[in-house]
């Protein structure tokens, strides 16, 4: 058995639970459990803007490291207490450096343990809102983003006369104390990124991912990325440290990479796209063409792209976006471009043929829209009876969140096959990504919340009347869109992890009926 100790990025299910749900009770040839993921008790993980209990997390990590085969570590959690606290903290670089030095003890406790870690480049949202940012971001968020964008364009020699005017106006508008607080924290976080590289350089960390959370081609995040990339190059660590868009999927990605490493596997993945244009589209919230991120996601999970379907361990069918990319919530009003620049019929026919006739496992990365599944694709796959024949599926949040999740599931399916764990996770993805993200979230927000006196950013707790309404509508969605004579899906629990509508927490069971 492989024991893996996991420090999640935060307490939301995508970070805290997904890796465990992917690997729970997977078995090897001996029919004994082969992967055991241990994680801190949820009570240690904090709550959105409230940091986790760092001292207790370190104590837990030391205790579990002693007999672990591998560690997957969120540096942001170990230093700041989670992803949101990493954007709010007031730590000095010296305090961060002393905390990082505690990693040395892990090597002393268990010199042979494999350590994979991840440490984010801090995001800079385009909008004004303080739900996950400092309070002043509600008033100045959009201006902070634009200030960074034009500053980047100016330093790169790409700014227009209008950009220079905007820069001068923003410099006068933005309060100095706001800019100083924001940029000083970014500076600390970048220096921490560079400190972590020293641990990779000295072999204390075996592999590192530096994800870019909600990135853009120009701005503060892109400039930080350039600085960290230069540091990676200066240490000759390009093969040991990957930097690409993503965040909430990285725990799953590193899990797949670690298990592949333990078993000496390098799966080959053959990509198929629903559109000719799709690979070159830069998805929403990201900074580069889809194809370039796709390469990183496969590499990071321990695989390689192949140009031969015949030699592939699985095919990755990417339902790709059209420029400009749309949000899933608005897909009922598709633009002409979305209708004619993708060919879903060919995509689904090829998928069915590859699964049923070629007998090649297929994963579907549904990234045609941001923040939810393509409901037309779901309908077509259901008509073809493909939903529970897939080796993986995801369609949530950013394209990188989706790709990292479904690729990781494909990797584990390649190793362990279609276990109950696998089909449960497929069912969860269909209910959450299609049911909640693409349909129920918008409907509950627009029709239920106003009458209850709540809004998108505040509901009545994790398990209140809103979560009950969500579960009721999800059950209806399941009945109307996912069930057939051979497959049933049961929702065992439904809750709102951060007391808002953006994400939902679900426990889902797939029941396979007689064929």
Bridge partner residues of 209 (DSSP): 118, 242
Note the residue count of the chain.
515
Bridge partner residues of 215 (DSSP): none
- CA dist 20 and 39 (Å) reads 9
Whether the CB-CB separation of 463 and 426 falls below 8 Å is answered with no
Looking up tokens 């100016």 gives 154
pLDDT at residue 32 in the model = 52
Token output for 454? 């709540």
Whether the CB-CB separation of 379 and 394 falls below 8 Å is answered with no
Q: Phi and psi (nearest 5°) for 122?
A: -65, 135
> pLDDT tens digit string along 119-148?
999 999 999 999 999 999 999 999 999 999
515 pLDDT band (50/70/90 cuts)?
low
For the residues 328-356, what does the mean pLDDT come to? Answer: 95
- CA dist 457 and 109 (Å) reads 44
Q: Exposed, middle or buried, 98 (CB in 10 Å: 0-12/13-18/19+)?
A: exposed
pLDDT at residue 385 in the model = 97
Alpha-carbon separation of residue 165 from 22, 161, 201, 340, 436 (angstroms)? 51, 6, 43, 40, 43
Q: How many CB atoms are located within 10 Å of the residue 370 CB?
A: 22
Asked if omega into 324 is within 30° of 0 (cis), the reply is yes
For the residues 211-216, what does the mean pLDDT come to? Answer: 87
- CA dist 381 and 367 (Å) reads 15
Q: Is 463 left (phi over 0), alpha (psi -120 to 50) or beta?
A: beta
- DSSP character string of 436-463: IIIIIHHHHHHHTHHHHT-BTTB-S-TT
For the residues 181-194, what does the mean pLDDT come to? Answer: 98
213 pLDDT band (50/70/90 cuts)?
confident
Q: Exposed, middle or buried, 154 (CB in 10 Å: 0-12/13-18/19+)?
A: middle
For the residues 310-339, what does the mean pLDDT come to? Answer: 95
List the 304-305 sheet strands across, edge first: 304-305, 268-273, 314-319, 362-366, 392-394
pLDDT at residue 33 in the model = 72
- CA dist 65 and 450 (Å) reads 48
Bridge partner residues of 326 (DSSP): 369
Residue closest to 211 by CA, chosen among 305, 293, 304: 293
Whether the CB-CB separation of 16 and 10 falls below 8 Å is answered with yes
For the residues 432-457, what does the mean pLDDT come to? Answer: 97
Can you tell me whether residue 12 is helix, strand or coil?
Answer: coil
Whether the CB-CB separation of 312 and 269 falls below 8 Å is answered with yes
pLDDT at residue 103 in the model = 96
Residue 30 has pLDDT above 50, yes or no: no
29 pLDDT band (50/70/90 cuts)?
very low
State how far Cα 342 lies from the chain centre: 25
Residue closest to 78 by CA, chosen among 63, 56, 111: 56
For the residues 363-388, what does the mean pLDDT come to? Answer: 98
Can you tell me whether residue 450 is helix, strand or coil?
Answer: helix
CATH number of 265-418: 3.40.50
514 pLDDT band (50/70/90 cuts)?
confident
Sign, CA dihedral 78-83-84-90, equals: positive
Residue closest to 387 by CA, chosen among 350, 348, 413: 348
Token output for 13? 């299910």
Residue 215 has pLDDT above 90, yes or no: no
Alpha-carbon separation of residue 335 from 77, 275, 324, 374 (angstroms)? 41, 15, 10, 14
- DSSP character string of 388-414: TT-SEEE--SSHHHHHHHHHHHHHHHH
- For the chain, the domains span 137-181, 265-418, 449-512
220 pLDDT band (50/70/90 cuts)?
very high
Residue 25 has pLDDT above 80, yes or no: no
Whether the CB-CB separation of 79 and 14 falls below 8 Å is answered with no
Q: pTM for this one? A: 0.96
Sign, CA dihedral 93-95-101-106, equals: negative
Mean pLDDT of the chain: 96
pLDDT at residue 26 in the model = 63
> pLDDT tens digit string along 484-501?
999 999 999 999 999 999
Q: How far apart are the first and last CA of the chain?
A: 33
Looking up tokens 């993921």 gives 37
């Amino acid at each position: 058995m492989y024991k893996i100790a996991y420090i999640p990025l935060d307490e939301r299910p995508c970070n805290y639970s997904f890796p465990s749900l992917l690997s729970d009770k997977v078995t090897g040839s001996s029919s004994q459990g082969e992967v055991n993921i241990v994680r801190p008790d949820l009570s240690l993980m904090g709550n959105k803007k409230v940091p986790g209990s760092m001292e207790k997390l370190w104590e837990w990590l030391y205790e579990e490291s002693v007999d672990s085969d591998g560690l997957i570590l969120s540096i942001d959690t170990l230093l700041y207490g989670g992803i949101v606290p990493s954007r709010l903290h007031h730590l000095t670089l010296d305090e961060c450096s002393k905390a990082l030095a505690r990693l040395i003890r892990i090597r002393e406790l268990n010199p042979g343990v494999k350590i994979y870690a991840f440490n984010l480049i801090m995001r800079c949202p385009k909008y004004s809102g303080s739900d996950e940012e400092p309070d002043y971001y509600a008033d100045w968020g959009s201006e902070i983003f634009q200030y960074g964008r034009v500053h980047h364009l100016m330093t790169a020699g790409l700014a227009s006369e209008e950009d220079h005017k905007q820069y001068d106006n923003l410099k006068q508008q933005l309060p100095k104390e706001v800019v100083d607080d924001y940029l000083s924290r970014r500076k600390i976080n970048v220096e921490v990124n560079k400190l972590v590289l020293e641990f990779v350089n000295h072999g204390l960390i075996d592999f590192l991912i530096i994800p870019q959370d909600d990135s853009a081609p120009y701005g503060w995040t892109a400039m930080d990325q350039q600085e960290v990339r230069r540091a990676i190059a200066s240490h000759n660590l390009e093969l040991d440290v990957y930097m690409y868009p993503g965040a909430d999927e990285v725990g799953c990605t590193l899990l797949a990479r670690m298990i592949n490493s333990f078993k000496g596997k390098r799966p080959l993945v053959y990509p198929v796209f629903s559109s000719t244009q799709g690979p070159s589209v830069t998805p929403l919230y990201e900074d580069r063409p889809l194809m370039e991120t796709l390469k990183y996601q496969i590499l990071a999970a321990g695989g390689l792209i192949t140009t031969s379907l015949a030699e592939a361990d699985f095919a990755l069918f990417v339902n790709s976006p059209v420029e400009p990319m749309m949000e899933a919530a608005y897909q009922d009003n598709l633009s002409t471009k979305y209708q004619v620049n993708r060919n879903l019929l060919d995509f689904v026919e090829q998928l069915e043929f590859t699964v049923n006739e070629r007998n090649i496992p297929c994963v579907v990365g549904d990234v045609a829209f941001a923040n939810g599944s393509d409901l037309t694709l779901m309908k077509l796959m259901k008509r073809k009876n493909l939903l529970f024949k897939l080796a993986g599926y995801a369609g949530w949040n950013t394209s990188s969140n989706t790709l990292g999740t479904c690729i990781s599931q494909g990797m584990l399916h390649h190793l362990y096959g279609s276990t109950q764990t696998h089909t449960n996770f497929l069912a969860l993805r269909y209910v959450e990504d299609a049911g909640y993200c693409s349909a129920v979230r918008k409907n509950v927000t627009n029709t239920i919340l106003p009458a209850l006196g709540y809004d998108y950013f505040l509901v009545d707790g994790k398990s209140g009347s809103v979560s009950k309404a969500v579960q009721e509508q999800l059950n209806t969605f399941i009945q109307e869109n996912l069930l057939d004579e051979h497959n049933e899906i049961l929702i065992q629990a439904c809750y709102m992890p951060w007391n808002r509508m953006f994400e939902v927490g679900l426990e889902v069971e797939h029941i396979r009926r007689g064929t």
